[in-house]
Chains A and B, each alone.
Chain A
Amino acid sequence: MFDGIERRVVSLWFPRLASDRALRLNPIDGPFALTLKENNANRIYCLNAAAEAQGLHKGMTYSDARAFCPDLRSHVAHPPEDQRFLQGLRRWATRYCPWVGLEGEDGLVLDITGSTHLFGGEGAMLAQMRNRLARAGMTVRIGLGDTRGAAWALARHGEGIAPAGAMLDAIGSLPVAALRLGAETSVALQRLGIRKVRELAATPRAPLTRRFGPAALMRLDQALGDQPEEISPQAEPPHYGVRLTLPEPIGLIGDVMAGIQGLLGQLCPKLQAQEVGARRLCVTLGRVDRDSQQVELRLARPLHDPHRILPLFERGLKDLDAGFGIERLRLEATVVEPLPARQINHVSAGRKDKLDDLISRLGTRVGLENIQRFLPADSHIPERSFIISPAAYSEPVRHWCPARPRPVVLFAPEPIAGRTPHPPQRFRWRRMALTTGRAIGPERICPEWWLEDEAWRSGLRDYWRVETQEGRRLWLFFTPQAPGWFVQGEFA
């Protein structure tokens, strides 16, 4: 299938991936183990060679391990971090070939067909891998074969290089478990007296398929190369950064804007292709004297239109020191959000976009958090019946329907004189002498006992709408549990 080029596959197995990772961060001499809580028992998840030499093994309960080996040091395992680390190793392994896939939870598989000569042959390549991984503190078992199955078998059961075209000779003497069979199948095969791969290959196929199903022989065929097996390389996550190097340093704002326009012209198609929009952009301007300056732009809405983003950079560039000139520009979308393509209609689009751009522009001046809007909240306490949230991170909510008349302005309660339950006939508020003309109420509001609120310590409140002879209509309340009158708002 490759026109005479032999397919060659490397399988890397990291038998101590988790503990090696932990020891890289925090080197410890002597026995060390990672524990993981399963079924209400702390079990050993991964351990180092020193601990294994003491007779500990994976899956053992931690208390037993402590009894065997009192000076055992341990940490709690963190499998998601291990997976992230394995992804890092996968990225590293692309230095040997572009075709790198994951093999289970603790292995990698590399299709090195046609790239070995770059490293001086297969042996040299494997030696280099082993050296580099050892320097990084990783224990590794490496297998090399014509097929993924053979490489896997060699990595897990006796390392080695299988010469091209002789898979059965290379893995024939390995146990049947080397064929990636389930534990049940391999035990059953051993009970039948089939212990080695070679013996399995020599057994008549039809009875085996009847007894074990097609899976067992499929694994054998895959290992020997009679059936194909793919390696799925993972897609690199998209990178939203572009750069521009200039032959001559520039210093004018217009020139920098032209540079950013060019960069946006490259970045925005990338964003559009992935259906995402930039929420935060960062321009790094490298100066001739090796110094660099950054301009950050935060947007009110995810955007991927160059002509809308470009003018928003103007303000950030204004107070920039170009020094002896700028020679490198780098534009990166540091935060992106999904922005699927939308149907354009003639009614809504323009006005809303204009408002979003305005929010972004004002945000560069006063900070995006300081542009806010009101959202309704579910509470009958007047000051908690709405929340104020940043406009850039919330959608407006229509249909407000206050059940009762509420004042247009609210302030912190201001005490006035009076101790009787009926509103005082005359009172002084903010150094004004006021006379009650008409009073409507009371409306009783109870504190929310499930929330701790200093202002509502005085208990129940009886709210009154008081129209004063002087004209102002105030919202007064009386606290029957601690008699006193307060002004909390003014009606419109």
Chain B
Amino acid sequence: MVQSSLPFPLVEGRAHEVCGAGAYSFAFALAAARGGQVLWVRETWEVARVNPDGFATFMDPADLLLCNAQSQLEALAVTEEALRSGAVALVIVSLTKPLGLTEGRRLQLAAKEGKSIALALIPEGMGSNAAETRWRCTPHFDADECANDRAGDSTLQRWELIKNKSGTLGVWYVRWDRASRRLAMVSPAGK
């Protein structure tokens, strides 16, 4: 099977979704590829904290703004406003409840107006129909002893495109290269 090329960074001016255990890596890889200011919107009660020392290998923590919202509705309102303003290149929003068609479509329109990207981190199986692409990212164990050290300590990821409005689906194995700060495609051994 001939593998199509990875559609990354994602299409500008659209809303995308990502799920799975590697969603954080995907979000930071996108932020790094996109450059510029990033706004991370989350609900106040979220326990998992992103660690600036951890994602400093992807992007400069100075470029990341956090926004704590009281509820998902408020988080969506903030996301929409930030997208519309065009002041940030990427808005990442963590969602816990499924999005309705209206909310999904509003995010699309806002992203289009501000020429920025919306990336929703969703729980598995809760995608909205309005999303441009949906990815499932899972970490993958690399049997090759040295590969991890060569890339400077990063996880081999399996990125699966499970929804694409304007293209084909696919599966890619990628790894973040710390030294060059870019995504490296990997052909997994034994696949």
Chain A residues close to B by CB (< 8 Å):
351, 354-355, 357-359, 361-362, 365-366, 370-374, 376, 382-383, 385-386, 388, 391, 396-398, 400-402, 405-412, 437-438, 465, 467-473, 489-492
A297–B156 CA distance with the chains assembled, in angstroms: 47
Q: Which residues from A are CB-within-8-Å of B82?
A: 358, 362
* Residues of B102-160 contacting chain A, CB below 8 A: 138-142, 145, 148, 153-156, 158
Contact partner, B49, options A370, A411, A468, A491, Cβ 8 Å: A411
Q: A366-B69, A400-B61, A492-B28 are in contact. Are A409 and B87 (CB under 8 A)?
A: no
Chain B residues close to A by CB (< 8 Å):
21-22, 24-25, 28, 37, 44, 47-58, 60-70, 74, 77-78, 81-82, 85-88, 138-142, 145, 148, 153-156, 158, 176
Q: Which residues from B are CB-within-8-Å of A467?
A: 141-142, 148
Would B85 and A492 count as touching, CB distance under 8 A? no
Q: Nearest residue in B to A400 (C-beta to C-beta)?
A: B56
Would B55 and A492 count as touching, CB distance under 8 A? yes
Most buried by A among B37, B62, B70: B62
Q: Nearest residue in B to A489 (C-beta to C-beta)?
A: B51
Q: Which residues from B are CB-within-8-Å of A409?
A: 24, 48-51, 54
Would B74 and A398 count as touching, CB distance under 8 A? no
Q: A354-B85, A469-B141, A491-B153 are in contact. Are A408 and B66 (CB under 8 A)?
A: no
Q: Nearest residue in A to B55 (C-beta to C-beta)?
A: A408
- Interchain nearest-CB distance for B147 vs A (Å): 11
Would B139 and A471 count as touching, CB distance under 8 A? yes
Would A358 and B88 count as touching, CB distance under 8 A? yes
Would B51 and A406 count as touching, CB distance under 8 A? yes
Would B28 and A408 count as touching, CB distance under 8 A? yes
Would A471 and B21 count as touching, CB distance under 8 A? yes
List the 3 closest A-B pairs by CB distance, nearest first.
Answer: A396-B62, A408-B54, A471-B139
Contact partner, B140, options A359, A406, A471, A489, Cβ 8 Å: A471
A401–B78 CA distance with the chains assembled, in angstroms: 31
- Interchain nearest-CB distance for A475 vs B (Å): 9
A397–B61 CA distance with the chains assembled, in angstroms: 8
Q: A362-B81, A472-B21, A492-B154 are in contact. Are A354 and B68 (CB under 8 A)?
A: no
- Interchain nearest-CB distance for A478 vs B (Å): 20
Would A351 and B65 count as touching, CB distance under 8 A? no
Would B51 and A410 count as touching, CB distance under 8 A? yes
Q: Which residues from A are CB-within-8-Å of B141?
A: 437, 467-471
Would B60 and A398 count as touching, CB distance under 8 A? yes
Most buried by B among A383, A386, A468: A386
Would B62 and A373 count as touching, CB distance under 8 A? yes
Apart from A354-B87, A469-B141, A490-B24, 16 more pairs, CB < 8 Å = A354-B85, A355-B37, A362-B78, A370-B44, A373-B65, A400-B53, A400-B56, A400-B61, A408-B50, A409-B48, A409-B50, A410-B54, A411-B48, A467-B142, A489-B54, A491-B54
What are 14 contact pairs spanning A and B, CB under 8 A? A354-B85, A361-B81, A365-B77, A400-B52, A406-B54, A408-B24, A408-B54, A410-B48, A411-B49, A437-B141, A471-B139, A471-B158, A490-B24, A492-B55
